[in-house]
Structure 1
Amino acid sequence: MPQRRSHVAPSAAQSDLATALAALRTELDAPTEFSAEVLAEAASAAPPAPDLDLRDVAFATLDPAGSMDLDQAFQLERSGSGYTVRYAIADVPSFVAAGGALDAAARARGETLYAADGTIPLHPRILSEDHASLLPDQDRPALVWTFALDAAGSVTGTRLERALIRSRAKLDYVTTQADLDAGRDSPATLLPEFGRLRVEQEAQRGGASLNLPDEEVVRHDDGTYAIERRSPLPVEDWNAQLSLMTGMAAAQLMLQAKVGILRIMPQPDEATFDTFRRQTEALGVPWTTGRYGEYLRALDRTDPRTLPILEAASALFRGAGYVAFDGQLPAETTQAAIAAPYAHATAPLRRLVDRWSLAISLAVSQGDDIPAWVRESLSQVPDLMRASAQRSSTLNSRTVNLVEAALLAPRVGETFDAVVIRRNGGHGSVQIADPPVTAPMTLPDSAAAGSTIRVTLTGVDVAKGEVVFAVA
């Protein structure tokens, strides 16, 4: 099981923290409420039942525990020496009328924001957590991808159809991982086999995954906040391969039609690679051969040098964005970390761009014309997503900083062991384990990345989310 540590800020700092979190929402100008018109439109949206009925297929969803905005449901089965994979996506295009109030509200938001004091959803909850969500034991319209895979996990056939489905089970990561580890029967029984094959396909393409440990802000039932640091479970990685496979299929359909919107990321240049090589040498785990994805996959996650290496590797994963095209293919079509063309097409309840990707993919798959509303608005989507991504990034980083400051507020003057995870000249970042906090500080000449030093907490400002460490 991954490391999972939870620490709660003391009550004296919780009040300051709550005030700071509320101020952050105001500062970001993130819309939190929907108008009466939008709510009414969402409540009344009732797409006609699709002609294709797949309610006899035993779909299941797999998400973090407690999730209600369920975008995807899967079903895997053996087919000869290979596999058949069905992947149902919430049919948001059927619920959101182009040009309506609901459409306008979603464009203003861009994506669901996950604030510490509650989510700010892309769509009204009656839609995202009820009518359009692939909840268990409910008939739901969905866009269903069907993939034929050979024995090596390579896709040999793809189709996309609008269908009526009925999910049988609402799975969560922790319970499902425990069931798989214990050999208990599960709708996800074939997922490890599928996931490992697809990871091998990724390696053969030259793809790479960073898989840094997450720092998650959680809110307890009593209103207090905490930070949990955890590494992804294997089942999360296997489940992600379903989405990656689907995103690559959507990209191929859009490239075929010469109309679409891709998620792209440039290949790192040689200077960036050279810098990373020098960093790995300094940490004592040099990258000397093979692709960088192979090197990252082979790292020992129990080695204390691995976290600084992964932090350094984050420079290889920069520059991701969206490119829209209609009639002429863009100059850049590849997502370098995936090592293939790729599109966001599996989370339409939580991300705006997926609605366009799905509408285009369905039309191309069915041989229909691309909907007029898609072509009319396609060029606007990259800017909408760029703005929402900036807002989300600011919210996430500032929230973590605020909660970290609240956790440390009563501990000014204490000394901690800290691992240097990044160094740039005389400055860098350190990470302490208890509580799980990462912070910038001025470093002594002897403190190389990957080394452990003793630091003293000299100051905290909860309102600003700032902590100050000095060498002990």
Structure 2
Amino acid sequence: MKPHCRGLRLLKVSIPVRHAYTGLVPARRSRLVPATATGALVESLASLRQSLDLPSGFPRAVLAEARDAARSVPTDPAVANLADLRDLEFLTIDPPGSPDLDQAMHFQQTSEGAVLHYAIADVPAFVTPGGELDAEVRLRGQTLYAADGRIPLHPPVLSEDAASLVDNADRRAYVWRFTLDSGARPLQTTLTRAIVRSRHRWSYPDAQAALQHGSAPETLRTLAWFGPLRAQRESERGGASLNVPETTIEVDHGTYRLQRNPPLPLEDWNAQVSLLTGMAAAEIMLAGGIGVLRTMPAAGVADVAAFRAQTVALGIPWRDGIQYGDYLRTLDRDDPAALAVRSAAASLFRGAGYVAFDGRPPTQTLQAAIGAPYAHTTAPLRRLVDRWSLVVCEALANGRPVPEWARQSLPEIPKLMGRSDQRADQFDAASIHRVEAALLHGQESAVFPAVVLAEQGGGSRVQLANSPVTARVAGMRAPAGSRVEVRLERADIATGEIEFAAVGASAGTTDR
């Protein structure tokens, strides 16, 4: 697999990005790390892993337990006593080369709307509560996507094979079934453990191309119907999305590339399937009085007022009577002022966390960016909390008690995920900084055009105009949205530190 660092983001906000579909693949901006800097970058990334004490492999006992589970967990419907849904033509859609396939879907349009089957990998079947594997994945919390290779949550024998929804193989899954009306609203929801068989593994680019060429199967065609309608439902409930491209580090045969990727329309539509499922999971848990939610408080009055004032100053005012999410969806991604607005909008997406409950629902249940209660439940191969969500929801949806192991350990999950998220954020940012430094190494004294994103710490945060690099320029005094020039003073690959000075203004340095 070519490592594709899906966890690395310019702004790490766990909501999908939205833009209108024009039938065109959006332009992508990328820069290749020069060969002269590659060796130093490899050493720097290895040193970063050591400094953060990241795991380099799995203990022998964990690997042995995973191999035993891969061999012994049955996938014959009769033996496993599970529903047989192998007649449904599921498919997966993921970034190119992804081996850990958490989800597969089957869509069928009807005269009233559509029926969606959404299969999620049955990871709980392979992890014995209280065992060596369980203990190890609780320590890890989530898969980390690194420029020099993934650090998986589960051993590859499970995450890339036995528990992964690979194509043309019988696999265990939790299958959500949604009956949808003509507006893609759920009328009925069920959750069943079953055996499924995915027919095809699609990458996002290939699936988007099939839709554009008219050769896509019914599931993809129906997804193209579903996604825009769910975006409308998001607008109705007051949900909002930051229109910020994802920054990724990609590696191919030892060559490193930093790339900023506006999402394909199909990625947005696919994200809406996960959002629908996460909202359904939250409803089930709240009704059943037990579960774990992903929450985010609504922005405070002062923060909203400050952001509104910034939009006026940038010449793109957020007018009264327009919902926040609808305003963000109107922004032109190519306008420097709009880029600054989206950067400022991040101030309203703060405080995301997890809350577990058993009995009385928590005071805070809303995920404000989504505009509804929400639970992570669609990525159990790559995220610890999803295993609990699936087990709890399946029991509640079918009128059975929640397994005691899940109930007893539920209060631990928010702390475990909080610690894991903090480490992932630190790793993501430090990795990007090192690759940015490698991109710029050797260009000291060069002058770069840039756009000011915001004032920051006595300086300005800027985005280079022709490269996926952001940095703070100390001492620069320039309004957000303005075009400026900055001169590279230093790019240290070992630490990821970059120093820029303003051209035509007081000189300064970065402090990242």
Structure-2-length-normalised TM-score: 0.90
**Hey, what's the Cα distance between the residues in 2 that align with 1:274 and 1:435?**
32
The answer to whether residue 184 in structure 2 is matched with residue 160 in structure 1 is: no
**Hey, what's the Cα distance between the residues in 2 that align with 1:424 and 1:432?**
16
CA deviation map 1:360-417 (0-9, x unaligned): 0000011111001001100000000001101100111000000100111110011111
CA drift at 1:324: 0.3
The answer to whether residue 96 in structure 2 is matched with residue 76 in structure 1 is: no
2:256 match: 225
1:373 match: 405
Deviates more, 1:288-297 or 1:256-265: 288-297
Relative to structure 1, the CA distance from residue 425 to residue 277 in structure 2 (aligned partners, 3 Å threshold; closer, same or farther) is farther
Q: Is the 8 A contact 1:420 1:453 kept in 2?
A: yes
2:32 match: 8
Deviates more, 1:28-37 or 1:227-236: 28-37
The structure 1 residue matched to 2:426, chosen from 389, 394, 405, is 394
1:42 match: 66
Counterpart of 1:406 in structure 2: which amino acid?
A
CA drift at 1:215: 1.4
For the residue of structure 2 that corresponds to 1:305, the secondary structure is: helix
**Hey, what's the Cα distance between the residues in 1 that align with 2:461 and 2:180?**
44
For the residue of structure 1 that corresponds to 2:463, the secondary structure is: strand
1:411 match: 443
1:17 match: 41
CA deviation map 1:135-191 (0-9, x unaligned): 000000100000011111111100000000000010111111111122223341111
CA drift at 1:3: 2.3
**Hey, what's the Cα distance between the residues in 2 that align with 1:21 and 1:291?**
42
1:318 match: 350
Percentage identity across aligned positions? 51
In structure 1, stretches of 5+ residues that fail to align are none
In structure 2, stretches of 5+ residues that fail to align are 1-24, 75-79, 504-512
1:341 match: 373
CA drift at 1:425: 6.5
Counterpart of 1:69 in structure 2: which amino acid?
D
**Hey, what's the Cα distance between the residues in 2 that align with 1:197 and 1:182?**
22
CA deviation map 1:411-458 (0-9, x unaligned): 00111111111114641211113332111112543x211111111111
**Hey, what's the Cα distance between the residues in 2 that align with 1:331 and 1:32?**
40
For the residue of structure 1 that corresponds to 2:354, the secondary structure is: strand
Q: Is the 8 A contact 1:17 1:462 kept in 2?
A: yes
**Hey, what's the Cα distance between the residues in 2 that align with 1:171 and 1:211?**
25
The structure 2 residue matched to 1:170, chosen from 177, 196, 201, is 201
CA drift at 1:134: 0.3
**Hey, what's the Cα distance between the residues in 2 that align with 1:50 and 1:74?**
22
How many residue pairs get matched?
470
Q: Is the 8 A contact 1:264 1:321 kept in 2?
A: yes
**Hey, what's the Cα distance between the residues in 2 that align with 1:433 and 1:409?**
17
**Hey, what's the Cα distance between the residues in 2 that align with 1:43 and 1:94?**
13
Structure-1-length-normalised TM-score: 0.98
**Hey, what's the Cα distance between the residues in 1 that align with 2:56 and 2:89?**
36
**Hey, what's the Cα distance between the residues in 2 that align with 1:274 and 1:333?**
24
1:146 match: 177
CA drift at 1:303: 2.0
Deviates more, 1:134-143 or 1:211-220: 211-220
Q: Is the 8 A contact 1:211 1:232 kept in 2?
A: no
**Hey, what's the Cα distance between the residues in 2 that align with 1:304 and 1:241?**
28
Counterpart of 1:256 in structure 2: which amino acid?
A
**Hey, what's the Cα distance between the residues in 2 that align with 1:154 and 1:439?**
43
Q: Is the 8 A contact 1:50 1:164 kept in 2?
A: no
CA drift at 1:133: 0.3
1:260-409 correspondence runs (5 A): 260-289=291-320, 290-409=322-441
**Hey, what's the Cα distance between the residues in 2 that align with 1:356 and 1:315?**
30
CA deviation map 1:106-130 (0-9, x unaligned): 0010000001100000000010000
| RMSD of aligned residue pairs (Cα, Å) | 1.1
Q: Is the 8 A contact 1:50 1:141 kept in 2?
A: no
Displaced runs of 4 or more, over 3 A: none
The structure 2 residue matched to 1:210, chosen from 242, 247, 254, is 242
**Hey, what's the Cα distance between the residues in 1 that align with 2:154 and 2:209?**
33
1:129 match: 160
**Hey, what's the Cα distance between the residues in 1 that align with 2:29 and 2:331?**
22
**Hey, what's the Cα distance between the residues in 1 that align with 2:165 and 2:465?**
38
For the residue of structure 1 that corresponds to 2:150, the secondary structure is: strand
